[in-house]
Amino acid sequence: MAWYHDFFHGLPQLAWKAAQTDEQTQLDLELIVETLDFGPGDRLLDVFCGYGRHALPLARMGAHLTGIDIAPDYIAELQSAARQQKLPVVAVEGDVLTVPLTDIQAGAGPAGQFDAAYCLGNSFSFFPRPDLQNFLGRLATVLRPGGRLLVHSQMVAESVLPDYQPRNWQPIELADGSTLLFMVENTYHPLDGRIDSQLTYVYGTETQVRTAQHYVYTLADLSQLFNAAGLPLIDAFGTEQGDPYTVGDADAWLLAEKVAD
């Protein structure tokens, strides 16, 4: 079982939600809208959708959203919000590597066919090569010809290795004014292209420890993997404003488009 199956609960979940600012979410949404070439009524797939910080506002714009996430608490929260707001959102609990993508969809149209998809929040880096090949192949299968895919990663080699940090810590302020302390110790395995992280969360008298794994690829390597899946990259951004990616940028946003059949 992959590490992310039982990671997102308790303090890590609390910390993640607190760290996502309204400003960051708005920048993400603007990039999604500007790059994915969709309109009202189109069907979008949100991979690792979390609690719906992108899916809900996009649904309010008129898109039909299908979200997939491994965390049952996140899916329950998204389902509840979509019902209350009467939004066209289908939220599915499961692993994107195994969930039947062709059977789930919000909105009318050919079964299992999406107009666009996105995978944000650094979750694209969760996969070793065989799983990443499977992931991209599955998304290519359910995207319409010309449909676009936007993914975000902080773990491309040109980003993470120039400023590799074996340990780091930071306080995260919660909505009630209290503080959660987040600490991480990283170990990079160059022959495997993998960073193993031990993450410690401290909130009041409670401490929780998790382990995570992220896989490091060069942009050239990713380009080859996208091409092999029939999703050639058409752009790479280093900021949410769409600036071209340059070595050392902290984040990378990769935009792909499914080739015509």
d(CA 201, CA 189): 24
pLDDT per residue as tens digits for the range 27-53: 999 999 999 989 899 999 999 999 999
Which tens digits make up the pLDDT trace of 110-152?
556 899 999 999 999 999 999 999 999 999 999 999 999 999 9
Specify whether the CB–CB gap between 194 and 214 falls below 8 A.
yes
As a whole number of angstroms, the distance between CA 56 and CA 79 comes to 10
**What element of type H or E holds 102?**
none
Sorted by where each starts, the structural domains of the chain and their CATH numbers stand as: 3-154+216-257 (3.40.50.150), 158-214 (2.20.25)
Mean pLDDT over each residue of the chain, to the nearest integer: 93
pLDDT by residue for the chain (261 residues), tens only, comes to 789 998 999 999 999 999 888 999 999 999 999 999 898 999 999 999 999 999 999 999 999 999 999 999 999 999 999 999 999 999 999 999 999 887 676 555 555 689 999 999 999 999 999 999 999 999 999 999 999 999 999 999 999 999 999 999 999 999 899 999 999 999 999 999 999 999 999 999 999 999 999 999 999 999 999 999 999 999 999 999 999 999 999 999 999 999 986
3-state secondary structure 142-202: HEEEEEEEEEEECCEHHHHCCCCCCEEEEEEECCCCCEEEEEEEEEEECCCCEEEEEEEEE
CA distance 211 to 3: 7
Number of H helices, E strands in the chain: 7, 11
How would you class 242 by CB atoms within 10 Å of its CB: exposed for 0-12, middle for 13-18, buried for 19 or more?
middle
In order, the DSSP letters of 1-23 are --GGGTTSSSHHHHHHHHH--HH
CB atoms within 10 A of CB 56: 19
